[in-house]
Each structure stands twice: as structure tokens, then as C-alpha cells.
Structure 1
Amino acid sequence: MFYYVAKTFAVGPLARALFRPWVKGLDHIPEDGPAILASNHLSFSDSVFLPVIVPRPVRFLAKKDYFVGSGPSGWLTRKFFDITGQIPMDRSGGRASQDSLNAGERALHEGALLGIYPEGTRSPDGRLHRGKLGVARMALKTRVPVIPVAMIGTDKVQPIGRKVPTPGRRVGVIIGEPMTFDAHYDHVDDRFAQRAVADEIMYQIMRLSGQEYVDAYAADVKRRLEAGGAAD
């Protein structure tokens, strides 16, 4: 109920008035049933504009940090993510990350529309980076369609480090055709099959977004940039 009220009477109207978001391919979103929305990730506001555009509720695998913040702003963020049904994603790897993905799978089994950023973090340089295998394994295990999504211009209205989006620029969402992976469904635990699926998802996102693709993980590129090195 809170999600519906916030989207219909608060966040939605405000976002539409200030940023006039445009969308292509909205008919590719199924009216019901589970699906994975696999999107590029340019800005924190991606997680605002995509739910505003998509008619159905979207549950995101969101960074765990948003659920453990301190102080008034941390409490508010935590409550907002909890009450809108978002799922904490532990990115430390190993069992903790797998438990987060398992929670995403349960949401899909319940018929949810699950949003995920295959790059694992926001792009540090505006380019599209190598997809992690979690989205591929989830798609193979649940056999639900993966819908590639390209967010356009969100890095201009809210670059990394800016807390509030700046009005004056339009943002866009391009939604691609649903993807299925019949040739790989019987090879859930095969890392070569997982890599093939992840790469195909990233290729479709690249085709929609027009971003330059980099065959390196975004987190690794970010660490190199922070250390003063070159992104490549």
C-alpha cells in the first residue's frame, strides 16, 4: 500500500514533473508473473525512475548498506527500503551473497518483478562493465524471462556523490524484449553456461544503452580509479 501511495501521489508525480521521463518498450513488461529486470546502473536514481516508469511494483536487490544506516537519514532510508519490499544484497561474496540471491529467487517464485544490476555496482566511468554471474544463475534456476533495461541520462541528473537529483534534464528508460535461455537451463551449475548467459544479458543492455562495453568488473575499475590509475 505504501509503495502504491508513494508512487501514485508523491514520488511518481514529482519525478514526472521535474524530469519528464520517457520510455520505449514498455509493452515488453509482462502484466503478471515473475521476471527479472536486468539494468545498467549509472546513478542511485535508477532505482527511483525505473519503478516510476514500470506499471507493476519492482523489488530490487539493493545494496545492504541502505538497510543498516545510522542517524535520522539512515533510519529513514532503512524504513523506506523495508516498507517498499526491497531485498538487501550482501556483496561481500561467498555464502552471504548467495543468501541474498536466494532471497531474490524466493521473490521470483512469489511472482515478483525483480530488479537487479548485473554489474554489481554503479558504473564508475559511465561505461558498461562485465556482468556478474549471480543474475545468470538466478535466471537459470528459476527459468523466468530476463528483460534487459537501459537507463538513459540518470548519471547527468544525479552523478555519483550527489545526494539529490538536479532537475532540468530528461531521463529515459529503454526496455528490451524478454530473454530466455533454453540451451542452458539444464546446466545451472556450469560456470561456462552462466558466463554465456551473463554475457548475452550484458550485450543486450549495451545494444539498448549505446554504452561502450568494458570486459572488466565495475568494482575493479572503481578501485583502479580510486588508486589514481587508468580505468583500462
Structure 2
Amino acid sequence: MELGAPLKEPPDIDTAHNIPREKEGIIFRILSYFITIIVFAVPFWVFMKVFSRVKIIGKYNLTKAKLPFLFVSNHVSMLDDAFLDPLLFIPRGLWDYKFMPYHTPERKNFYRGPIFSWIMEHVKCIPLTRGMGIYQPGIQQIIGRLKGGNSVHIYPEGTRTRTGDIGRGKPGVGRIIHQAKCSVIPCYHSGLNEVLPLGSKTPKPGKRITVIIGKPISFERYNGYESNVRTWQSIADEVIQVISDLRDKLNPSSI
């Protein structure tokens, strides 16, 4: 029995920002670049480079990657995107803005009031709502952005870990990969939970962060499969396994 059904192509409306894609004009793009890069990315890059002890393994797998791609990683703190992405996507993201990824924040945590919502709309965010499932507009918008030649950073577990373990992948990430037909770049990182511990509101300097990035992965062999939840879950399980393999490579004692 079918567990899902083929879906329509992404709509012409940008459901993340509630504006037509073609109306993201030059002013919007300039504001987006300025706020994303100058206001947020560069300061976080400085913090990570100057005030943290960072080791990155396999960064060339990302810096040489061809767009579009889905960047997938484990999730340990509220601001993983803010700490990790400037470190990994700069400098190329300075001149190749499509390379700088879209993020997928939880709507209730980050879209609080008109000011915060306006900021989030201009820093390459596509909000997702916990509990709305894999058919919510944000998932469709991610697929549209990837088909438009962009990169997106998403957490296949769908939530932050409280124990450090890697949970099971959500079928939504499998749906994105299957329908966008994009490559996937896996990443595992450790130490960010100490930079922003659970319950803390300010980052802590001097912490050791280690990041390992794997080679781009193709899921083309799934192209002939039905676009349903069973297929999507199989893809998500493979993504989680690859991230787990990176963890084991970084920490052999965890095997």
C-alpha cells in the first residue's frame, strides 16, 4: 500500500517569505547579502576563527562542490547554523551568494514579532514548523530553492540532540533529496554544544570544535522509485548512516 503520493512542483509563490520569487528584486538581494554576510556571517566567522579552537577535516569537499546541494549535519545547539556556516562557507560565499546556504529555523523559536521576522526573511531562512510534517510549505520551498541552483543546510534528525547521540532521520529530508534531485554533502561536528550549552544565551569562547565533511553523495539510484514516504525514509536512513560514519571516523572510540 502506498504510504505517500507524488506531489506537485514547487509553487510560484515563495512560501517562506510570502512573496513571488520573481519579485525578489535587486533591493531585496542587496539587503539580504548585507545582513547575511556583513551583519551576521563575518562577526560569527571572526568569533570562531579568533576565539575558538577549530579543526576542519575535508573542507575541500565543500569548497569545491557544485551547486545545487543539500548540506546535512548533526544538530547540537540552537545556533549551529550561525557558528558553523560562516566557518565553512566563507570565503566562497562572499562572491558566490548561492553557495551561502539557506537555513531552516523552527518558526516558533525564531519568527517572534515583526522585527525578528523581517530579519529572518533577509538572512536566507526558510521556516519550518515542528509538528506540521513533511507536506508543509517550507519543505516545498526548500525543494524549489535547490531546483533554483542554491544550497540549503538542514538537520535530518529534525531537532537538537539532548544526549549527543544521532537520532533517526526524518522522511522530510528524504523527500527533499528525492524531489530536488540534488547531491548531498554530509558533515559531523563536535564541540558546539560547549560553545552554547543548553539553557545558555551567550556563546563561550575558547572551546574546541572539530568538523569533518564528507564527499558529495548522489542518490540518483532512487530516481526511479515512487515518490512516497517509504522511499523518503530509506533515503533519510542512508543520510543518517553517512553522518554516523563520519562521527565514527572522527571518534573511533564511539564505534
TM-score, normalization by structure 1: 0.81
Contact 2:52 / 2:208 at 8 angstroms: preserved in 1? yes
Equivalent position SS for 1:59: coil
Q: Secondary structure at the match of 2:208?
A: coil
* Alignment counterpart, residue 86 of structure 2, candidates 47, 52, 56: 52
Q: Which residue of 2 aligns with 1:225?
A: none
1:182 and 2:220 are equivalent in the alignment? yes
104, 128, 146: which one aligns with 2:142: 104
Matched residues in 1 for 2:163 and 2:42: separation? 34
| 1:23 matches 2:47 | no
Give the gaps of 5 or more residues in structure 1. Answer: 214-232
Spell out the pairing of 1:137-216 with structure 2 (5 A cutoff): 137-210=175-248
CA 14–122 in structure 1, closer or farther in 2 if over 3 Å, else same:
same
SS at match of 2:241: helix
Query: Deviation digits for residues 24-83 of structure 1, max 9, x if unmatched?
Result: 11111245421001110011231112211223312111111244314xxx84x4344222
Native 8 Å contact 2:53 2:206 kept in 1: no
Contact 1:137 1:188 in 2 (8 A): no
Amino acid of the residue matched to residue 62 of structure 1?
P
Quick check: 2:72–2:155 contact (8 Å CA) kept in 1? yes
- The structure-2 alpha-carbon separation of the partners of 1:94 and 1:168, relative to structure 1 and needing over 3 Å to count, comes to closer
Task: Structure 2 unaligned segments of length 5 or more: list them.
Answer: 1-32, 94-99
Provide Cα deviations, 1:103-146, integer angstroms capped at 9, x if missing partner. 11111122111000011110021111000001111101111001
Give me the whole-angstrom Cα distance separating, in 2, the residues matched to 1:133 and 1:127: 19
Distance 1:108 1:183 in 2: 19
Match of 1:130 among 144, 149, 168: 168
Q: Note if 1:63 corresponds to 2:106.
A: yes
> Retained in 1: the 8 A contact 2:71–2:154?
yes
SS at match of 1:201: helix
For residues 188 and 164 of structure 1, do their structure 2 counterparts lie closer, same or farther at Cα, with a shift above 3 Å needed?
farther
CA contact (8 A) 1:39 1:118 kept: yes
> Contact 1:149–1:176 at 8 Å: present in 2 too?
yes
Deviation at 1:8, TM superposition (A): 6.1
Distance 1:192 1:53 in 2: 35
Greater displacement, 34-43 / 83-92:
83-92
Q: Cα gap change, 1:54/1:7 in structure 2, threshold over 3 Å: closer, same or farther? A: farther
Q: CA RMSD in A?
A: 2.2
**In 2, are the aligned partners of 1:37 and 1:115 still within 8 Å (CA)?**
yes
- Equivalenced residue count is 208
Check the 8 A contact 1:188/1:194 in 2, yes or no: no
Residue number in structure 1 paired with 2:8 = none
Verify: 1:88 aligned to 2:131, yes or no.
no
Counting aligned pairs with the same residue, the percent is 27
Contact 1:66-1:78 within 8 A present in 2 as well? no
